[in-house]
Amino acid sequence: MGKSIIYPFGKVSIYDCYLIAVMNEGAIVSPDLNDVLENIAQEYFTNKKFVYITHRLNSYAVDPNIYFRTSKIKNLVGFAVVSGKKIVRDNTELESVFLSKPFEVFNKLNDAIEWAKELCN
């Protein structure tokens, strides 16, 4: 079981080599939220590789410019999107262009977790 942190924009659960973020309905993920991710990377993943998994259970907006700063987090080795909705998976194609890290889309959370563990080994 991981450590869960509640933020105004959603919930982040931190595990050994990955985190799972679930954003609140209607949230706007903008570049300023990257400060939170950078702080988590420094506090929980110091000198350790990790993967960011976003479990898209709710509808929210993502500013693709966030990925430019996210790409600069040295120990971030992958980014996964989990959603069973086709439109969400289709929209991630645009997002992946902005991120210079391995980027995968999954239908099931367990598949994303397995991928994260492989990347961290």
Given a cut of 90, whether residue 23 has pLDDT beyond it is yes
DSSP state of 102: -
- Provide DSSP, 50-76: EEEEEE--S--EE-TTHHHHHTT-TTE
Give the Cα separation of 90 and 15 in Å (integer): 28
Secondary structure element (H or E) that encloses residue 78, with its range: strand 76-82
In words, the CATH class of domain 3-120 is alpha beta
**Spans of all domains in the chain:** 3-120
Q: Give this prediction's pTM.
A: 0.93
Phi, psi of 32 (to 5 degrees): -65, -20
pLDDT at 53 over 90: yes
The HSE-up count of residue 91 (CA atoms within 13 Å, CB side) is 15
pLDDT at 120 over 90: yes
